[in-house]
Amino acid sequence: MSKRNKSLMDLMTRFPRTWDEGFTFSMISAAAALAISSFLARAGAQQVGTLKAETHPALTISTCTSTGCSTENDQVVLDANWRWAHSTSGSTNCYTGNTWDATLCPDSATCVANCAVDGADYSGTYGITTAGNALTLKFVTGSNVGSRTYLMDSETTYKKFELLGQEFTFDVDVSKLPCGLNGALYFVPMAADGGMSTTNKAGAKYGTGYCDAQCPRDLKFINGSANSEGWVPDSNSANSGKGNMGSCCSEMDVWEANSMANAVTPHSCKVNEPTMCTGDDCTRNTGLCDADGCDFNPYRMGNTSFFGVGKTIDTSKPVTVVTQFITADGTTTGTLSEIKRFYVQNGVTYAQPNSDIAGVTGNSVTDSFCTAQKTAFGDTDYFGTNGGMATMGEAFSKGMVLVMSIWDDYAANMLWLDSNYPLDKDAATPGVARGACATTSGVPADVEASAATSQVIFSNIKIGPLGSTFTAPA
């Protein structure tokens, strides 16, 4: 071990450390810190390709006040993980299927020196299109499956949303999202420049810097370093695998949904900035982040007639979704205390229905709701352990990047959203039934074949003070 690495490891075990503007080493084990610092010491920089020009689709949103809303001209960018990674000297794939090229990427340092991510054909390759204030994400386009996009306020920076004391509103059409799919809209505290630095030349323009509360290890590049070392191809996916490193941060799932079910779910972490993890720190729930979150899914909370095709909120039609982030003192700098949800459809406003689960009251996400829900469902309260609503609010205070995606689930077939889950529990047990989809649904090979034409449309995004983006019920 070099003196530099040992000193860095010793420092990181005592204090948080920012690494090249985008990522933080914070509250991680000494072993993990050593592994990551040694890894990065050998790494070069994530390169930018020149074979395809990068042109971001335009998307307008509205910023509102008590007197009205104004239009903001923004754009969306595709996540780097979906992009073509090829040799800097030509067009040889650095990554094909779920495997790194052994010649170009024998180790991380060589890989980042040899490989570049390139521009994207948004509509032709990825099925991503915009029209005014609407973003359409198609599920399967050619050989591509799913996509993840971020909202930008310039060619090179993500838009950072200040959510405390605000409400966020959007229209969504999930009519073409069957069981097993997820049209998701959520926030994570990514760096505005995508972590652009001496180790990341691509930056936000090419969709770098992702993190979430699952601490994903399927990212090909993290903070400008190739995640090729220790990479193991997934046995059930021809396109993905996992490396030694993951990328953790708190996550606010405003909307995870298909036509059968929806959930709003904050996830708290021990870290509130994009943070590399290795080993146990990447582990679900017991590592750096609360992967399960504290969800409010109306079906799971006992109201099985509220959301779905032909139900109170009829998912065969578009719906306006309003989410309010309320602070304890009513200011935009206070402690996050409550997350409230409203729906507007056919000119009628509906509050989130009250819980019908014994021992759990209310229709909004609060610390007391989460504690009661975890107790009623027999789940461990990792959300509360990691600081609950206050920690989620601390992440908000750093500014949040808007993510919009469409995906299927190779880990659990999306049963945690729209069916009975876990499968080893009786469906009558409180918290197990989450939607009306069959427990045999959602298998990626099935939905990719039978539901290839699926899509989600997000539109009419608005942000502003409470009550400024819709007419709240009296």
Overall size of the chain counted in residues:
474
**170, 459 Cβ separation under 8 angstroms:** yes
Residues paired with 403 in a beta bridge: 150, 186
Give the span between the Cα atoms of 79 and 207, in whole angstroms: 4
- Report the C-alpha gap between 311 and 277 in whole angstroms: 43
User: How would you classify residue 65: left for phi > 0, otherwise alpha for psi between -120 and 50, otherwise beta?
Assistant: beta
Q: How far is CA 203 from CA 123, 156, 193, 314, in A?
A: 22, 7, 6, 40
Contact 435, 299 (CB under 8 A): yes
Prior bond to 422 cis, omega within 30? Answer: yes
Beta strands in 181-318 (DSSP E): 181-188, 221-222, 225-226, 232-233, 241-242, 245-248, 251-257, 262-267, 275-278, 307-308, 313-314
**Which residue of the set 167, 256, 273, 394 is catalytic?**
256
Cα gap 430→186, rounded to integer Å: 26
Query: Torsion-angle region of residue 431: left (phi > 0), alpha (psi -120 to 50) or beta?
Result: left
CB 26 within 8 A of CB 18: no
Q: Helices then strands (H, E): number in the chain?
A: 9, 32
Active site residue 256: yes
| 448 in catalytic set | no
Provide the strand spans (E) within 26-127.
47-48, 58-65, 68-78, 85-87, 95-96, 99-100, 115-117
**Angle, helix 3-12 to helix 30-42, in steps of 10 degrees:** 140
Residue in the structure block whose two tokens are 């899914």:
297
Catalytic pick among 167, 251, 273, 394 = 251
DSSP state of 283: S
CA angle 319, 435, 178 (to 5 degrees): 60
User: Rounded to whole angstroms, how far apart are CA atoms 338 and 327?
Assistant: 7
E-strand stretches of 191-303:
221-222, 225-226, 232-233, 241-242, 245-248, 251-257, 262-267, 275-278
Separation CA 113–CA 357 (nearest Å) = 55
Catalytic residues: 251, 256
